[in-house]
């Protein structure tokens, strides 16, 4: 990877940010059936990677111009790849990847979120 990469963010750190009402947008790139199984317990912009052709061309309208963007998926791999793509296209963004994804959130922050 030659370009910029998302900064790593631990689940506990994201929880702190959300509790502080930080200026951030959470983007969940999982598929709809994954959100049904284990929804993230805070508002998210849902951009499933399988539908990328539908939202990729309008990403500037979909995501805010300022604030931090936290990307998440099941384990943190798809979201990391999405974060890299996002930074390749908009290098000025402040992009963070939830390490371990929703699974880490369930283990470290909120055990009521089902693991799958």
Is residue 93 a contact partner of residue 20, using CB atoms and an 8 Å limit?
Answer: no
Cα distances (Å, whole numbers) of residue 62 to 1, 25, 39, 77, 108? 25, 11, 20, 22, 29
- Contacts for 14 with CB less than 8 Å, ≥ 6 apart: 26, 70, 96, 98, 105, 109
Is 73 known to be catalytic?
yes
Active-site entry in 14, 72, 73, 84:
73
Is residue 47 a contact partner of residue 69, using CB atoms and an 8 Å limit?
Answer: no
Q: Which positions are catalytic?
A: 73
């Amino acid at each position: 990877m030659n370009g910029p990469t998302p900064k790593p963010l631990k689940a506990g750190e994201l929880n702190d940010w959300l509790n502080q009402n930080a200026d951030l947008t959470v983007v969940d790139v999982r598929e709809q059936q994954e959100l049904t199984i284990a929804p993230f317990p805070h508002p998210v912009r849902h951009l499933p990677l399988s539908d990328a052709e539908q939202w990729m061309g309008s990403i500037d309208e979909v995501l805010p111009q300022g604030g931090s963007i936290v990307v998440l998926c099941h384990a943190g791999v798809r979201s990391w790849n999405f974060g890299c793509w996002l930074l390749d296209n908009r290098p000025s963004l402040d992009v963070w990847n939830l390490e371990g994804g929703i699974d880490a959130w369930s283990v470290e922050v909120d055990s009521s979120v089902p693991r799958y």
